[in-house]
Structure 1
């Protein structure tokens, strides 16, 4: 299942990058995140940054470990998480078009276990809208943080 969302932001590419890479303080920026616990910091850059992220999903705390697998400064970064037999790949990217900046996020859920493959059909039907709504909320929170600075 792939879910994508994007927002236009009035701010520089560098300002957007500073907000989306401020993972240690993401719970202060993104209302859907309850807690961030950084587990591993790379010597330089973003690749290898690993953290635990807790969100409230369906009224209960859900924690997943994420790490950055690829990044180009001021352009994009990709994360990976594994949970419940699924691999979750997310890309946050910044682009410029007609003088406006766009922050986009793509979230891909891929089942790995037989149980996850079985669950992926109802998940696609039931959760795609929920995931898209959450992505948009996160992006709007980031937009607010950039535009208030």
Structure 2
């Protein structure tokens, strides 16, 4: 059983500016108001294998999750870009995919977020069925805010 949502934000900036913001993990706590802190676990440029711990506060609760880049294709002229970030936490497999596509002199940034239980029990399935829609509404609202803040930063570069 999984839950998935997709959001798209048009950004009045070129794809390379949007990519610079999306791939700036050390700077994401300064860009995204929902991120409290970042602890880098690997050195070097953003690429497959980049790992970090991200602390967010959601619904008054602070949680730290280890995340890593599982796919990365930087945009280039005439070519779209995308990256996939993964996390495993509390029996769930989280996937966030960012896709960049140039449109109307700017960039469409599409974020697809999915959460899948890795070893669902009967109780966890029931809880997901009951609370999952509420959790996804809260997640969708937080992700929409992230996209707006990424847009504001990219448009200011």
Q: If the TM-score is normalised by the length of the shorter chain, which range does it land in?
A: over 0.9
Structure 2 counterparts to residues 86-97 of structure 1, below 5 A: 86-97=92-103
Deviates more, 1:108-117 or 1:2-11: 108-117
Q: Following the alignment from structure 1 to structure 2, what is the Cα–Cα distance between the partners of residues 113 and 30?
A: 31
TM-score for both structures, normalised by structure 2 = 0.88
Query: Among 118, 129, 136, which residue is 1:128 paired with?
Result: 136
TM-score for both structures, normalised by structure 1 = 0.93
Question: In structure 1, the residue corresponding to 2:41 is in which secondary structure?
Answer: strand
Query: Among 37, 40, 43, which residue is 1:41 paired with?
Result: 43
Contact persistence 2:9–2:109 (CA under 8 A) = yes
In structure 1, the gaps of 5 or more residues are none
CA apart distance, 1:24: 0.8
Structure 2 counterparts to residues 24-103 of structure 1, below 5 A: 24-41=26-43, 46-74=47-75, 75-103=81-109
Q: Does residue 1:138 correspond to 2:146, yes or no?
A: yes
CA apart distance, 1:100: 3.3
Contact persistence 2:99–2:111 (CA under 8 A) = yes
Q: Following the alignment from structure 1 to structure 2, what is the Cα–Cα distance between the partners of residues 125 and 13?
A: 32
Report what 1:20 is aligned to. 22
Question: In structure 2, the residue corresponding to 1:48 is in which secondary structure?
Answer: coil
Q: Following the alignment from structure 1 to structure 2, what is the Cα–Cα distance between the partners of residues 45 and 36?
A: 14
Query: Among 117, 120, 136, which residue is 1:114 paired with?
Result: 120
RMSD of equivalent CA atoms: 1.5
Contact persistence 2:91–2:117 (CA under 8 A) = yes
Q: Number of aligned residue pairs: give it.
A: 148
Q: Following the alignment from structure 1 to structure 2, what is the Cα–Cα distance between the partners of residues 118 and 40?
A: 38
CA apart distance, 1:33: 0.3
Q: Following the alignment from structure 1 to structure 2, what is the Cα–Cα distance between the partners of residues 140 and 39?
A: 27
Q: Following the alignment from structure 1 to structure 2, what is the Cα–Cα distance between the partners of residues 60 and 80?
A: 21
